[in-house]
Amino acid sequence: MSIRKRLILALFFALTGFKSALAANVIPNDLGQIIKASGFDQTNIGLYVQAVNTAKPVVQLNDSKKFNPASVIKLVTTSVALDLLGPGYQWSTDVYYTGELQGDRLNGDLYFVGNGDPYLTPERFWRLLNRVRIFGIREIQGDVYFDSSFFQPEPIDYAAFDDQPYRTYNVGPNALLVGFQATEFHFDVDASKQRVKIIAFPASPNLKVINQMQLSNGTCRAWQKRLLLEPKIIHQVLQVKFSGQYARSCGKRTLYRRVTDAHDHFQHFFLPIWQQLDGSLQGRVRQAKLPEQATKVVSVDSISLAEAVRLINKYSNNVMTRQMLLSLGANMRGVPGTAEKGIEVVLHWLQQHKLDTTTLHLHNGSGLSRDTRVSAELLAQLLLFMYQQAYMPEFLASMPMAGYDGTMKSRFNGEALFGQAHIKTGLLDFVQSMAGYVMTPSGQRYVVVMLHNDKRAHTKAATALQDDILRWVFKQH
């Protein structure tokens, strides 16, 4: 184990307080034997199981103790958003112009105003620009501005969490977030020239790939770890240098990485797509708030909040969750949306519904944090509450379905439990968690929450223990 991981582990357990007094546990003997046989210390596990139509839990193990939940905390953020904003809520992205429009020539500036859309993908952004062209704008004589003032996120250090500044899960919230702030790099083997081909998308005129990759033989396993990526801005051009080894057996592969900040990322997407649509820009891409005197061009709505919640919980999308938290802040506490306002909204909502928040410490709402804490009991009570709401079907269906999709796709294939559980999972170093619903053969549905913080919690052995606990729940009446 590296020195850095040892330090994180020491701090992690210090913050969690593993020597604190434990509440009374209720655990059936056969389940206790399953945990004992796994070799894990049960004091490092928080567990809560209860049928959705009964008043008492059948399992309580360290259920009032604070644990790091990893991505399972997304269930808290998405639950509050479903209730307060509603399943049909949509975010808009608006386009305005200033100056005069003569024919298809804009003698002025074009403004893009973001309102927090968490799913403004490249395809949807292309559609937005196409709507601008349909409106009648082709030549922009002035500048293009983007206005992201609907949010006021904290300054972000992309490397702070795990020293992986280019990984897309470390991207922060932005009111005008295009393509998750990710650039696609498509790799292939050019057999005739014995070299690696790398094509970037979008193919921005201000982005240049420096290809120093070497072809090699052998397996393609862990191919991304054999790449070295180094982005630099030189004379206003983003140069992304790749070096390292690429195995011939890899064939075609795609790498998604954050290689620039939000401002430059917007221009890297805007410029090539606008050119593809036969548009031209004489000025530059800049950031500024929309002036009062501006004419609306078009407003495009996002996918619904229910659809966004499904993408968040099934595929554990961090930045979409952070967008949702700031959206709660902006809508319920006023613009600009901040993480602090969003957390205030979440805590107030939980307290309103008599859900005990004394064991909850939220950081960014997504679980990508060493500081977030919650108890198994609070998460279970939240799931029981959500099951009684009119929008329960949207919430339940947002979680990965055992054996079918999301982070549960490869689990329980060929077993009776296949398709009978909707489980949100979470995984960090020293953390593995799950929370959701299990349907038994008798038709009884149970809430199950397991929070596991241990120096081996992120291993396959811990996943196997989760699976055994879910099998035990499935056998209940």
CATH of the domain at 436: 3.40.710.10
Task: Answer yes or no: is 348 within a domain.
Answer: yes
State residue 19's pLDDT score.
39
Same domain membership, residue 354 and residue 454: yes
Question: Domain residues for 216?
Answer: 183-257
- Picking from 250, 249, 235, 185, the residue whose alpha carbon sits closest to that of residue 211 is 185
Task: Answer yes or no: is 10 within a domain.
Answer: yes
State residue 23's pLDDT score.
52
Q: Is 115 helix (H, G, I), strand (E, B) or coil?
A: coil
Structural contact between residues 277 and 130, judged by C-beta atoms closer than 8 angstroms? yes
Task: Answer yes or no: is 80 within a domain.
Answer: yes
Task: Answer yes or no: is 151 within a domain.
Answer: no
Same domain membership, residue 470 and residue 401: yes
- Picking from 469, 473, 457, the residue whose alpha carbon sits closest to that of residue 41 is 457
- Picking from 369, 430, 372, 352, the residue whose alpha carbon sits closest to that of residue 66 is 372
What is the domain count for the chain? 2
Whole-prediction pTM: 0.93
Same domain membership, residue 338 and residue 245: no
State residue 4's pLDDT score.
53
Same domain membership, residue 454 and residue 309: yes
Distance CA 156, CA 159 (A): 9
Strand-pair category, 105-114 with 144-147: parallel
Task: Answer yes or no: is 178 within a domain.
Answer: no
Task: Answer yes or no: is 196 within a domain.
Answer: yes
State residue 64's pLDDT score.
97
Same domain membership, residue 319 and residue 450: yes
Q: How many CB atoms lie within 10 A of CB 425?
A: 23
Structural contact between residues 269 and 259, judged by C-beta atoms closer than 8 angstroms? no
How many residues appear in the chain?
477
Same domain membership, residue 314 and residue 241: no
Same domain membership, residue 339 and residue 404: yes
Strand-pair category, 280-281 with 139-140: parallel
Task: Answer yes or no: is 77 within a domain.
Answer: yes
Same domain membership, residue 207 and residue 79: no
Judging by beta carbons within 10 Å of its beta carbon (0-12, 13-18, 19+), is residue 413 exposed, middle or buried? exposed
Task: Answer yes or no: is 270 within a domain.
Answer: no
DSSP letter string over 313-349?
A: HHHT-HHHHHHHHHHHHHHHH-SSB-HHHHHHHHHHH
Same domain membership, residue 320 and residue 241: no
Distance CA 418, CA 414 (A): 7
- Picking from 446, 456, 460, the residue whose alpha carbon sits closest to that of residue 31 is 446
The mean pLDDT values, 10 residues at a time, for the chain of 477 residues are 52 47 77 98 98 97 98 98 98 98 98 98 98 98 98 94 96 97 97 91 94 95 96 93 97 97 93 97 97 97 98 98 98 98 98 97 95 98 98 98 97 97 98 98 98 97 98 96
State residue 2's pLDDT score.
55
Same domain membership, residue 460 and residue 337: yes
